[in-house]
Chain A
């Protein structure tokens, strides 16, 4: 999914708070269905090079996407194995966020 490019900014951009998430994975549960990797709206995830005990490639963070998770929780809810979830953390760096954590 390409990033939306626009010259205009939303009026509440200054107040908007874009959360940052931290992806947690339980590799041994994963069966490599690909739902989380395929439907992450920020394309944060990729398949691992390693395999788990059952021989599946579990999700890892994609290249240059280490801070890109916005804690939307879609991967958590769509995972049939309950093998992935996100936790909200304080945003590091300035990109994307204009509001405070509270």
Chain B
């Protein structure tokens, strides 16, 4: 054997931020969700907000596992309902920094209306959408972000529909911060999540991730490394939000670049509930009564 062993460690320096007893996690080799979780916990540690004030909410799907692996208050909600659940927390406890980490199908198909209306109201939320172009957990069905022409288990002859253009959708709906990075751009992704955590209003970060088990295999993209190589060769960093067509992702046309960058960073007034102090003046009769679980 010619190679020398590296120092063998038992714990990672970021383990206190994670539920490391659950590691190794369930995600496939070559999947990028673990990298997004890692970027999120690093941004969380760098944000200056105490860990007790961070909340992570996720929906259903592979990406929904994220809430189960971070060592902060976290919630694994019903399918598509991560944003409304997070809204409730953000409105009632404005001192908390609420982050939604979920997948493209959960956020923009099942929870699509919640997504655009949260962006419209400019709620104090950071939404990290892990886009792997299909429904990975259930077997690689075509989702709202599957690029045109890509092969999925429900579109064996190629997807006919035009995919959602998530950064453009978020910008059009009124988000204050919109970014798109791949999991190869780890430092930029971490900094974008950090910017989202520090910025009031609705921040949307799309993280393109390989899905070697379903999307990559069906589309002959190879393993996770091969899909990362596609990102490395085709990503172009742009500063301003490009046009609608420029933002489209196309895996069939190999010449077409994938635009990444921090597209939108504007100051808009974040959502303030009408009479935010009204919750303090609710008459006694209408206050919710706490029922301890298990007692009748």
Contact = CB atoms under 8 A, between A and B. Distances in A.
Contacts of B15: 82
Contacts, number: 110
B50 interface: no
B18 A82 contact: yes
B38 interface: yes
Interface string A16-33: 000000111111110111
A80 B4 contact: no
B39 A32 contact: no
A81 B23 contact: yes
Given A26-B12, A35-B225, A54-B24, A61 B6 contact: yes
A82 B1 contact: no
Contact of B5 (A56, A61, A82): A61
A82 B29 contact: no
A56 B30 CA distance: 12
Interface string A38-63: 11000001101100001010011111
Interface stretch (B166-174, B181-189, B195-203): B181-189
A77 B9 contact: no
B14 interface: yes
Chain A contact residues: helix, strand, loop or mixed? mixed
A10 to B, nearest CB: 22
B236 interface: no
B180 interface: no
Chain A residues touching B, range: 35 or more
Nearest to A31: B29
Contact of B186 (A49, A60, A61, A77): A77
A82 B225 contact: no
Nearest to B30: A33
B82 to A, nearest CB: 21
Contacts of B9: 24-26, 85
Chain B residues touching A, range: 35 or more
B31 A60 contact: no
Nearest to B12: A82
B8 A81 contact: no
B6 A82 contact: no
B70 to A, nearest CB: 12
Given A31-B24, A31-B29, A60-B3, A83 B12 contact: yes
Contacts of B39: 77
Contact of B183 (A26, A46, A59, A78): A78
Nearest to B28: A31
Contact of A77 (B3, B30, B31, B42): B42
24 contacts: A22-B7, A23-B6, A23-B7, A24-B7, A25-B9, A27-B8, A29-B24, A31-B30, A49-B3, A60-B4, A60-B5, A74-B187, A77-B35, A77-B38, A77-B187, A80-B27, A80-B31, A80-B38, A81-B34, A82-B12, A82-B23, A82-B34, A83-B12, A85-B9
Interface of B: 1-15, 18, 20, 23-25, 27-35, 37-39, 42, 183-184, 186-187, 190, 223-225, 228
The 4 closest A-B pairs by CB, nearest first: A80-B34, A31-B29, A24-B9, A23-B6
